[in-house]
Structure 1
Amino acid sequence: MRIAVNKADEIYLFDQNDVLTPAIEIDESVLPDDFFSVFAPGYYLYQDDKVIKNPNFVKPDSPYIEPTAQAKVLATIQQMLMAQAASIAKLKHGGAEV
């Protein structure tokens, strides 16, 4: 699994397909049990090879679309596009397995 962090060590994106770049590769065993169900950009920090809840996280106000849901949709779309790009690249270079 790969994660993307900002300068404040906040995790703002994750990828279970291992195609996210630039990113930090981590083992899912370091994730809190509720990581996938409550993930929101900035909700977790990556420090000392551990994923911890951000004590300074403040849920942003949004009158229409909750940023957490929007971020999950965007992350999913990005993962799908990156996986497709990787498959296309393999096919272009003569790779039979995708």
Structure 2
Amino acid sequence: MNGPATNGNASAQNSAMGAALYKSAIGATVWSADRVLLGEIIEAQAAPGGQLDARIQLGATLGIDDTALIRLNPKAIRNGRLNIKMKSGQFVERITN
């Protein structure tokens, strides 16, 4: 009957909405709790549990010319900005160890 088709349509809609969230994450800036620009999201893909794996091009303010991979909730990105609850020094320590 209509049940399986409806479920399939809902899955397709959720998948399309998820893809839009991931694409909209690219270009978002990432800021630390102490208001330091950490970098910019340059790649994003789906991760388990509705999360997002994002590759960040680290900012010059950190003195690191590299990228880092973080997992985040894509809904935490607002107005092209992701604020993390970690100070810049903690962030650097975490990604370099």
Task: Verify same fold: TM over 0.5.
Answer: no
Give the TM-score of the pair, scaled to structure 2.
0.24
Is the helix fraction higher in 1 or 2? 2
Is the strand fraction higher in 1 or 2? 2
Structure with bigger gyration radius: 2
Give the TM-score of the pair, scaled to structure 1.
0.24
